[in-house]
Amino acid sequence: MALASCHLPQEADSAPRHQAGHAELGMGIHGEPGASTIATQNSAEIVNLMVEKLTAALPETGRLAVMLNNLGGVSVAEMAILTRELANTPLQARIDWLIGPASLVTALDMKGFSLTAIVLEESIEKALLSDVETASWQKPVQPRTINVVPSTLDSARVDFTPSANPQVGDYVAQVTGALIDLEEHLNALDAKVGDGDTGSTFAAGAREIAERLERQQLPLNDLPTLFALIGERLTVVMGGSSGVLMSIFFTAAGQKLGQGASVAEALNAGLEQMKFYGGADEGDRTMIDALQPALAALLAEPENLQAAFAAAQAGADRTCQSSKAGAGRASYLNSDSLLGNMDPGAHAVAMVFKALAER
């Protein structure tokens, strides 16, 4: 079965063999026309059709060896999907040995695969299981059922009742708005020292919380629960290590607030947990370079957001002079790529404190 034929190196691009969304059953490995064209590219439908054709040609009983072969242009992930589809067919109950999925008989870059079955006799089975020196031949494996063990450690969702608190709502709006507005700028900064997605990552988290604020679906008058909910949502929508670290930060801070700590104390507790699990510290050229001095200033003067912003900005500025990163993707870069470029995470933190200070 193939979606497209092979292409010879000297060959110009040729016209498609069939309409989009179709597949060709029985195409030869040299591109010979197949037996029929079918109006589907659905993996389950294709494998079931091929199994139906094979079953009609096989004896009704007898154990089988089956080879699942990549014709050259199918990705590893797609071959794994085809293997799953084969395991979901009636033929699975008769398969003693599976060879593949692997590229065993190929046709250059042909986008397709083949399915071969043979009835097992003692001599055939012995030959299939013999050691060989052919590098590409895969040793047959016995299919087995995957036993799914239920998890007993599923984390409970944060239960909350939406509540109003205009002051807290203003803080949330300021922070989320600043991060959303910074998306393109942070991406541009990150493109110089990372993979260019810091802005999108932070903005995704900010949009989630901002939308909940707009729908009045936040416990604004219950800070411990608010922080716990933010931690839960960020780990879902932000993705990457930043999402995990920010989730740890807010979850730990929420727990500390629930124990009666002040906001400044709770945020510093969240920072300590972020450092513990993330492995980075101040001076490693990460968001911690701005966050740690800002939270230290906030702990010293809880009402002085301007001082916290100044400390965060100074920390972010210092990352421009840093020639080595101790964590994150920037740690893979040489000093010439880092000097003069501010860490995007540290800049994001500084801009958050700026937004809070200007509120």
- 185 as an active site residue: the answer is no
Tally DSSP H helices, then E strands, for the chain.
13, 6
Catalytic residue among 7, 18, 22, 30: 30
* Residues 340/318, Cβ–Cβ less than 8 Å: no
Q: What are phi and psi of 154, to 5 degrees?
A: -60, 130
Tokens encoding 164: 């109003």
Tokens encoding 230: 């933010």
Q: Which residue has the tokens 């200033």?
A: 297
Tokens encoding 195: 């993979």
Other CB atoms within 10 A of residue 3 CB: 21
* Residues 326/281, Cβ–Cβ less than 8 Å: yes
**Rounded Cα gap, residues 197 and 339, in angstroms:** 20
Q: Which residues, at least 6 apart from 47, have a Cβ–Cβ distance to it below 8 Å?
A: 82, 85, 86, 89, 115
- Strands 64-70 vs 95-102: parallel, antiparallel or unpaired: parallel
CA dist 29 to 66, 83, 116, Å? 19, 21, 14
Tokens encoding 207: 């949009």
Report whether the peptide linkage leading into residue 101 is cis, meaning its omega lies within 30 degrees of zero.
yes
**Rounded Cα gap, residues 42 and 149, in angstroms:** 30
Distance from the first to the final alpha carbon of the chain: 63
- DSSP H or E segment with residue 314: helix 305-318
- Helix %, strand %, coil % for the chain, to 5? 50, 10, 40
**Rounded Cα gap, residues 287 and 312, in angstroms:** 9
Task: Please list the active-site residues.
Answer: 30
